[in-house]
Amino acid sequence: MAAVLIPHKDVPTVEPTGVAASRMVQGVKTYGAADAEVRALDDVTVSFESGAFTAIMGPSGSGKSTLMHCLAGLDDLTSGTVYVGDENVTAMKERARTRLRRERIGFIFQAYNLIPTLTAIENIVLPKRLAHRQVDEEWLDTVVAQVNLGNRLDHTPSELSGGQQQRVAVARALLSRPELVFADEPTGNLDSKAGAEILRFLRRAVDEFGQTIVMVSHDPIAASYADRIVFLADGRVIDEMSHPTADAILDHLKALSA
């Protein structure tokens, strides 16, 4: 296992492009009726660079998950606009959004969310099959080798550990080489060792394959794997940080809550 974890010297490192893979412009999301209105997102304008690993941090209820759901087209903004690349997601009908999710976006959830009746490998190729696309066997081998499931590929999720299940979920997200991968607290259910493994995979996907990843987390250690952190509180972007370390993040969080 260790051999795989050590990056190969001859793999080129892909630099961030400076192009926005995903943007939200003046995003507002409210819940509830007028008198009991909750503003989950309050005039958020934010953009996520292609080929970069961005973390969204903030306390519970700060709007991190809502931001991610709206960016992914899973949820609608009350007002404002979401773009994936140059396309206006807000204006899309459900069918177009389904196609968007299918072809250009990958998801990694906190609760793994594998289909219980399918084996690990079947779960990995599922989005491809849903899209009626051929599986790129070479790329599949690469991805599968990365997540290092060994002989457990033919096991169903109930036969895998939490870390293994999440690795399957990561492989599933990476297989279609989506423009964007959204990860929602991907290490939230894992112990620190398994969590670190997942984060290293994500980091390498960004470095070696130029994958764009947007991750929601409230764990400073997890966030420290990112290129950039966006801090959210009460539905607003309150700060940003580039090339963070865990200590720097902790200090920053302390300063924010003070």
Partner 1 sequence: MTLIAWRNIMRHKSRTSFLALCVVIGVSFVAGTFVLTDTMTNVFTRIFDQAYSGVAVSVRSQSDLGADAARPPMPDTVLDTVRAVPGVRLADGGVFTTGGRIIDADGNQVGNQFAPTFLASWPATPEFSAFTLVDGAPPAAADEVVVDLGTATAAGFAVGDDVRVQTTRGLQTFELVGIARYGTASNMGGASAALFDLATAQVEADRVGSFDDISIAASDGIDAVALKADVQAAVGSRFEAVTGTDLSSESADAITSGLSFFSTFLLVFAAVSLFVGAFIVYNTFAIVVAQRTREMALLRALGADGRQVIGSILLESLIIGLLASAAGLVGGIGMALGLKQLLSAIGFDVPTGTVVVLPRTILVSIAGGVLVTMVAAVAPALRAARVPPLAAVRTLGRPTQARRRGTVAVGLALLVAGIAFVVLGVASITMVWLGLGAVLTVVSVSLLAPSIVAPFVSALAAPLLRLRGVSGQLAEENASRSARRTATTASALMIGTALIAASLVLAGSINRSAEQVLDSGLRADLIVSADGAAGIGSSATESLRNIDGVAAVAAYRFGAFRIGADTLSVAAMDGSSLDPASPTVMLDLDVVAGSILAVDGGGLAVSKRVADDHRWEVGDTVAADFASGPQSLQIGAIYTTTAFGDYVISLATHASLFADSTDAVAFVRTADTTQVAAVQALITERLATTAPAANVQDREEYAGALRAQVNQLLTLVTALVLLAVVIALLGVLITMLLAVLERTHELGLLRAIGMDRAGIRSMVRWEAAIISTFGALLGVVLGVGLGYALMRTLRDQGVSTLAMPYRSLAVMVVLVSVAGVVASIYPARRAARLNVLKAIAAE
Q: Which residues bind partner 1 (CB under 8 A)?
A: 65, 69, 74-75, 94-95, 98-99, 101-103, 107, 109, 113, 115-118, 122, 126-127, 129-131, 172, 184
Q: What angle do CA 117, 127, 94 make, to 5 degrees?
A: 110
- CA-CA distance, 68 to 58, in Å (whole number)? 13
Which lies closer to partner 1 via its Cβ, residue 184 or residue 227? 184
What is the nearest approach in angstroms of partner 1 to the Cβ of residue 202? 18
For residues 222-243, one letter each, b for 16 or more C-beta atoms within 10 angstroms of the residue's C-beta and e for the rest, the string is bbbbbbbbbbbbebebeeebee
Contact indicator for 65, 59 with CB cutoff of 8 Å: no
What is the nearest approach in angstroms of partner 1 to the Cβ of residue 194? 18
What is the nearest approach in angstroms of partner 1 to the Cβ of residue 242? 28
Which lies closer to partner 1 via its Cβ, residue 126 or residue 241? 126
DSSP E strands in the chain: the ranges are 20-31, 38-49, 53-57, 79-84, 87-88, 105-108, 180-184, 213-216, 228-233, 236-242
Which lies closer to partner 1 via its Cβ, residue 147 or residue 253? 147
Which lies closer to partner 1 via its Cβ, residue 125 or residue 196? 125
What is the nearest approach in angstroms of partner 1 to the Cβ of residue 102? 3
- CA-CA distance, 118 to 188, in Å (whole number)? 23
What is the nearest approach in angstroms of partner 1 to the Cβ of residue 107? 6
Which lies closer to partner 1 via its Cβ, residue 126 or residue 221? 126
